[in-house]
Structure 1
Amino acid sequence: MAGIKEIRTKIKSVQNTRKITKAMEMVAASKMRKAQERMRAGRPYAVKVRNMAAHLMQANPEYSHPYLNEREELKAVGVVVVTTDKGLCGGLNTNIMRLLLGRYKEFQEKDVKMQFTALGNKGLGTLTRLGAKIVSQEVGLGDKPELDRLIGAIKVQMDDFEEGRVDAVYLATSRFVNTMRQEPVFFRLLPLPGKLQDPYSAFEHPLEGVDQGEETKASYSWDYIYEPDPKSVIDELLKRYVEGVVYQAVAENMASEQSARMVAMKAASDNAKKVIGELQLVYNKTRQAAITKEISEIVGGAAAV
């Protein structure tokens, strides 16, 4: 009977676990819809800001912003790492950190110094264990990205690039493709790519140039009236553009997190249901064997009498 009791206890434990994973799946599904709406709502803004900045630079070619200046040699780089604050979201964070560690080794082989900005607790923990140089961080981002909280962390990297302490700034995050697929990406944030192309359109190898593709000739020119002056407008717009790219990356990562968590919790719930079925079968067999044994003992005793 001890075996039957243990099996019954284990079935109850797995059932309780399945209730938790099922509840987490439903919560993640609800949050996923909101995160996807927020992510999709931010994409048109990023596209418009990118197009406007590109047009302004074409209209004012005599001014070159520091964010556009390519460095001859990479001696030091900054990396903004976007991960989640919580786990239980499948291999989302693992895939990002695996990609980042591969780039980390490549930079080390080229004797390129690295400094990191961690957005999210999971990435911060991995970088701390790695002994990496962390210059800024922001954790506890919640379910909705707030630009005010992100600006302080990424401004450290932007200032270091402007002042020449780093020669490039990269962004490691997860790109939302669909509910079942999220891609870890690593692309250059600064200096900005030529014509301000979509950073997600060409994932860059960190030690090689960006493939700009075929250049398209403009069929018309852009003419703007600047207030107060072209330099001030372009400077402010490019800063907003970089901040917008990081904000969108965080929004994409949050949508990826909820999607990955929903899928992971559904898989856990399905596996728990399968385990419960197998344990129930073992329980029934064990209970039947115990009953058969008792009947045999009774029959045997009666025959002996």
Structure 2
Amino acid sequence: MASMRDIKRRRNSIASTQQITKAMKLVSTVKLQKTKARAERSKPYFDKMYEVVTSMLAKSGTIEHPYLKPQASAKKAVVLITSNRGLAGGYNSNVIKLITGSDMKREDLLLFTVGNKGKEYFSRRDYTIAKEYPEVIENPMLADAREICAEVLELYAKGEVGEIYVAYTYFKNTVVHEPTLLKLLPVEVDPSDIEAARSNSLMNYEPKEEEALDLIIPKYITSILYGALVESVASENGARMQAMDSATSNADEMIDKLTLQYNRARQGSITQELTEIIAGANATNER
């Protein structure tokens, strides 16, 4: 059995750690309120953007445009959004599993990593990191999404990659965050939507369809990427808040158990001392 000193030392150590987890929970809670409001304000626009663009392309017929035609390359560009820090439960590992658990081959992937955790994981496993953006996740801006969009679209237009994806965490609410792998290009349109569109009327563009799509597709990609960044930040803070709350509760349980052990050990020590005193007194009386 551990000594009273060892139990007390361990209990004090856990109490110190608990103070840190409480502080981190408070910080994450404050950050969550800000990032949650930002994500909720942005969500309707970006959801509608995705819906409108896919609907529009379903009604566009067969348009020859570099951003729309399938590319021969088997390479896939994936914008992977993780955090710069850990202690957020399964937040980072769940996003990483979207890649490792898919049928995508390592040699076919070009990763554009936002956040250090994803970059560190995949660089250790010899995946190709095309570009990294560690600072973007701290405070995502529309300009950041526009920069990433320009990088991946250029590769797609040149035929160096055949598909573009974004792997991020969808912010459903404070406690539910869903890892999501979304295909951005080529845009996936339901065949039934295409047939329905052809039976009615096709989309007309003004000015020319090529000029219009040169503006629409980059804006579409930028919008989706920015929405993914904002939702990922909110999800990260929500996940960290839950993880620190769980750690604080676990520390409470451990402190209670150690306090009980300490009291039992103290009681045993007192009992032993009393027994020795009584035994000594009896020995003296017998003399």
Q: TM-score range by the shorter chain?
A: 0.7 to 0.9
List per-residue Cα deviations over 1:223-261 (Å, max 9, x = no partner): 88846x553333122101101111111111111111111
1:19 paired to 2:16: no
Alignment-derived partner of residue 69 in structure 1: 69
| Residue identity matched to 2:158 | E
Normalised by the size of structure 2, how large is the TM-score?
0.87
| Residue identity matched to 1:302 | A
Q: 1:117 aligns with which of 112, 120, 123?
A: 112
- Distance in 2 separating the partners of 1:120 and 1:4: 45
**Does structure 2 retain, via aligned residues, the 8 Å contact 1:75–1:167?**
yes
**1:221 Cα deviation after fit:** 6.4
Q: Gaps (5+ residues) in structure 1?
A: 195-211
Backbone CA RMSD of aligned residues: 2.7
1:107 paired to 2:85: no
Match runs of 1:102-251 below 5 Å:
102-103=101-102, 106-108=103-105, 113-194=108-189, 212=190, 214-215=192-193, 217=196, 226=206, 230-251=209-230
| Residue identity matched to 1:292 | T
Alignment-derived partner of residue 278 in structure 1: 257
- Distance in 2 separating the partners of 1:289 and 1:269: 30
**1:214 Cα deviation after fit:** 3.9
3-state SS of 1:66 partner: coil
Sort the Cα spacing of 1:58 and 1:215 in 2 relative to 1 into closer, same or farther, 3 A. Answer: closer
Alignment-derived partner of residue 42 in structure 1: 42
Sort the Cα spacing of 1:266 and 1:66 in 2 relative to 1 into closer, same or farther, 3 A. Answer: same
1:91 paired to 2:90: yes
**1:120 Cα deviation after fit:** 0.9
**1:44 Cα deviation after fit:** 2.3
| Residue identity matched to 2:118 | G
List per-residue Cα deviations over 1:65-96 (Å, max 9, x = no partner): 3222123x552221111111111111111111
**Does structure 1 retain, via aligned residues, the 8 Å contact 2:137–2:229?**
no
**Does structure 2 retain, via aligned residues, the 8 Å contact 1:169–1:191?**
yes
**1:193 Cα deviation after fit:** 2.4
- Distance in 2 separating the partners of 1:185 and 1:65: 28
**Does structure 2 retain, via aligned residues, the 8 Å contact 1:175–1:183?**
yes
1:254 paired to 2:233: yes
Alignment-derived partner of residue 77 in structure 2: 78
Sort the Cα spacing of 1:164 and 1:222 in 2 relative to 1 into closer, same or farther, 3 A. Answer: closer
**1:57 Cα deviation after fit:** 5.4
Alignment-derived partner of residue 199 in structure 1: none
For structure 1, which segment, 90-99 or 134-143, has the greater mean C-alpha deviation from structure 2 after superposition?
A: 134-143
Sort the Cα spacing of 1:187 and 1:51 in 2 relative to 1 into closer, same or farther, 3 A. Answer: closer
**Does structure 2 retain, via aligned residues, the 8 Å contact 1:60–1:230?**
no
**Does structure 2 retain, via aligned residues, the 8 Å contact 1:171–1:188?**
yes
- Distance in 2 separating the partners of 1:221 and 1:88: 53
- Distance in 2 separating the partners of 1:15 and 1:283: 15
- Distance in 2 separating the partners of 1:65 and 1:92: 37
| Residue identity matched to 2:131 | S
- Distance in 2 separating the partners of 1:304 and 1:244: 89
- Distance in 2 separating the partners of 1:58 and 1:251: 28
**Does structure 1 retain, via aligned residues, the 8 Å contact 2:54–2:188?**
no
Alignment-derived partner of residue 206 in structure 1: none
Alignment-derived partner of residue 203 in structure 1: none
**1:107 Cα deviation after fit:** 3.1
Normalised by the size of structure 1, how large is the TM-score?
0.82
